[in-house]
A and B are shown apart, each in its own frame.
Chain A
Amino acid sequence: MNPQLTQDGRLRHLLTLDGLPRATLMEILDTAESFMDVGEREVKKVPLLRGKSIFNLFFEPSTRTRTTFEIAAKRLSADVVNLNIATSSQTKGEAILDTVDNLAAMHADMFIVRHSQSGAAHFIARHVAPHISVVNAGDGRHAHPTQGLLDMFTIRRFKGAFHNLTVGIVGDVLHSRVARSQIHALTTLGVPEVRVIAPKTLLPAGVEQMGVKVFHNLDAGLAGCDVVIMLRLQNERMKGARLPSAQEYFKFFGLTSEKLALAKPDAIVMHPGPMNRGVEIDSEVADGPQSVILPQVTYGIAVRMAVMALLAGGTAA
């Protein structure tokens, strides 16, 4: 049984894109499309979630992601409370569940959860009252479903469809929740060829079983790609004996204009941000004509509005 769906197939929580039906993903993308123009109005707001309380529960700090959720919630007229638990009660040893119970007692309707442990959002979702929805805003290495969805939205906007694409995901797949969500979404939406391109030290065991083709050579992996997704390389990866140096990584797996020329001429370049310029991507590419990195950020708000609207609809408090 999928804990994310109600018995009649409606979205109950958004924890991972793994196992969500194609129709659900399309519904979210279509709904996001209809929210796109809200950002262009004089009053950038619709009253859909008026009176609802949304709590941003960030056990792991991220101003960027928290802000996009906050803007999305406010455009839906929800009340938003930000809790940076990484620096508050959690350090005093208050258990996650106590935090969640306390907030639920304050009549929360939705929790947006980010946590450094894989499965944390599942864990919270298992314990909340039936009227509360949980949105995973990133858990450990496991999933970042709204990022995966906004990437799909971006691809659809620029490429029109999914069924004829070759998508290459380059970099630290092992530690990337974004990559996992992208892979599940791309395969569910019918992309015929999803590639992961990385040294063996940055790929998880048995990654092929997620339905991807593995490349260890950037030139070969980029050849014929319609979409190139670059992943962020965390600096601490240099310490764990996974890579010798950032310079060597950039030389063999960094995206430069010359490398990008190996992909299709109209290929788009994506990055979930924040970028390490000169480590995984050259500034010339990041700011170049094929980059859609800034539109990704814009679309992120409409996609998160869609997710919140679909979750809140029909769950009368």
Chain B
Amino acid sequence: MHASLPEVDSLIARLADAIAPILTPATAIVGIHTGGVWVAERLHALLQCALPLGTLDISFYRDDFSRIGLHPQVKPSNLPFDLEGRAILLVDDVLHTGRTVRAAMNELFDYGRPASIRLAVLVDRGGHELPIRPDFAGITLAVPGHQNINLSRLDDGHLTLSLA
């Protein structure tokens, strides 16, 4: 049914258009490693944000840590701005169960107390397990539970979605 998945660039452009009205110069964009950072980088450029891009690695906050252990390549989180009282736009590639977003919000609060967090995702694939919904979604798809939808980046920087 998803024989041809939508083209990523147009999804990101659509997202940027939706986000633009709520953006202020004090809003910080934060991408979640790894795919969320790729999407956030594009949005950051398209929306010409004043603040530098933030990145989060949520490995230390995963709720399945005691089952699967530590991810072998944890990247340090990088939030080059003060979080206190700030509006945050959190960006991820695919929203599925909501657990990654939950972990990311926990981590954000360990750096400070933001005024607000909004969530933007490239794809909302359904299958939510937590009361977490995107404020902005590039596309909403009903992907069966046994399937995975993945964002990958080619050597030339081109982003593509695939179903497995």
A interface with B by C-beta (< 8 Å): 10, 27, 30-31, 33-38, 41-43, 45-48, 309-310, 312-317
> Which B-chain residue is minimally distant from A317 (CB atoms)?
B66
Across the interface, which residues of B come within 8 angstroms of A33, CB to CB? 76
> Which B-chain residue is minimally distant from A34 (CB atoms)?
B74
Q: Is the Cβ of A34 less than 8 Å from the Cβ of B69?
A: no
B45 CB-CB contact with A under 8 Å: no
Q: Is the Cβ of A47 less than 8 Å from the Cβ of B61?
A: yes
How long is the Cα–Cα vector from A30 to B57 in the complex, in angstroms?
15
Across the interface, which residues of A come within 8 angstroms of B67, CB to CB? 314, 316
Q: Is the Cβ of B109 less than 8 Å from the Cβ of A43?
A: yes
Across the interface, which residues of A come within 8 angstroms of B60, CB to CB? 34-35, 38, 46-48, 309
B27 CB-CB contact with A under 8 Å: no
The number of chain B residues with a CB under 8 A from chain A is: 22
Known: A34-B75, A36-B76, A37-B76. A46 touches B110 (CB 8 A): yes
B interface with A by C-beta (< 8 Å): 57, 59-61, 65-70, 72-77, 106-107, 109-112
Select one of B70, B109, B110 contacting A31, CB under 8 A.
B70
How many whole Å from B114's CB to the nearest CB in chain A? 12
How many whole Å from B125's CB to the nearest CB in chain A? 26
How many whole Å from B158's CB to the nearest CB in chain A? 29
> Which A-chain residue is minimally distant from B110 (CB atoms)?
A43
How long is the Cα–Cα vector from A35 to B68 in the complex, in angstroms?
18
Select one of B68, B70, B112 contacting A310, CB under 8 A.
B70
How long is the Cα–Cα vector from A314 to B71 in the complex, in angstroms?
11
